[in-house]
Homo-oligomer: A and B are copies of this chain.
């Protein structure tokens, strides 16, 4: 994630125009060597020996918190106390308590320190367009939200990492992936999830091989394990599903999985309204499916909008129509929006701050409690 963030800050200046020109001032990581190598490669002015040095550096205006989940609260709160703006990776904290502390710290921050949470998908042009259509009333009253975020790198052969340790990660697919789609549902509809109406957690793999440092990273933190390797307990959910109700009465379902074979990064959402529907799949991030129910029945269809027109959110900053965008563009656009805000302007699309992200975390927490209450019904009991 460090690379994608550094890239975002650098590229934002090239594709967007704004008053404040961000420089990558200081980088810190667990290993000084890593930090200094990173600094050289990505043009960071300085490598700090530790994160607490970094947050005290007067050159630093904004701290980009991009560390394992269990450190989010600690680093963010300290940075806020040091008077820095903070942009933190999701999920907010590993527990609801941590998240609440972070939201409180944001509310109490002095000197106008701002907080941001990297819900990057908000700036995918197709997702922003979903929001625009809904906010303009094109879908009418919303009836259904159907969301799942499916990956498949959590297979049994994948080696252990901090992501499988509940103490370091908080949760598994739930915090990692459901956090994204809960935020997206709230973002695009402008509505709130008021009730969780059923939830189910699944853990398919209970221990994983430990891989030595020399092994090669295979992407997404997934590392293949070796035979006969030492094994360590996996203590997070592999999949998590829940049902919910929105304030306006719509019904919603959310599902996250790291074991949905064939799905690499299927962040999918369909929303059905009285007047229209939208459908999105990140694996085809340049496309939004749009159904306009006000057209004559003969002409209605799922319209595959290729979101590369100048009239689509963020697109005008990049390439001509038909020249598709990639994963990193969302981060670039978010970095640009943060810069715009810090320079006193408005973001092109709303940004999530810690208080906003805390609401997302409340939903995740309600789902966890609901899943553990086990309101189950045996089907053969009838």
A255 in the interface, Cβ–Cβ < 8 Å?
yes
A contact residues, total (Cβ < 8 Å): 117
Residue pair B293, A299 in contact (C-beta under 8 Å): no
Residue pair B144, A239 in contact (C-beta under 8 Å): yes
Q: Which residues of B contact A285 (CB under 8 A)?
A: 324
Q: Mark A357-376, 1 if CB is under 8 A from B, else 0.
A: 00100110111011001111
Q: How far is the CB of A29 from chain B (nearest CB, A)?
A: 17
Contact residues of A between 223 and 273, Cβ < 8 Å to B: 239, 241-245, 249, 251, 253, 255, 257, 259-266, 272-273
Bound state CA distance, A316 and B327, in angstroms?
14
Residue pair B312, A305 in contact (C-beta under 8 Å): no
A184 in the interface, Cβ–Cβ < 8 Å?
no
Q: How far is the CB of A330 from chain B (nearest CB, A)?
A: 10
Q: Which residues of B contact A370 (CB under 8 A)?
A: 198, 375, 377
Chain B residue with the shortest CB-CB distance to A284: B284
Bound state CA distance, A202 and B264, in angstroms?
32
Residue pair A220, B321 in contact (C-beta under 8 Å): yes
In order of increasing CB-CB distance, the 4 nearest A-B pairs are A198-B198, A265-B322, A264-B322, A326-B326
Q: Which residues of A contact B (CB under 8 A)?
A: 3-4, 7, 14, 41-42, 96, 129, 143-144, 146, 148, 150-153, 155-156, 192-200, 202, 204, 218-222, 239, 241-245, 249, 251, 253, 255, 257, 259-266, 272-277, 279, 282-286, 288, 290-293, 296-306, 308-312, 316, 318-329, 359, 362-363, 365-367, 369-370, 373-382
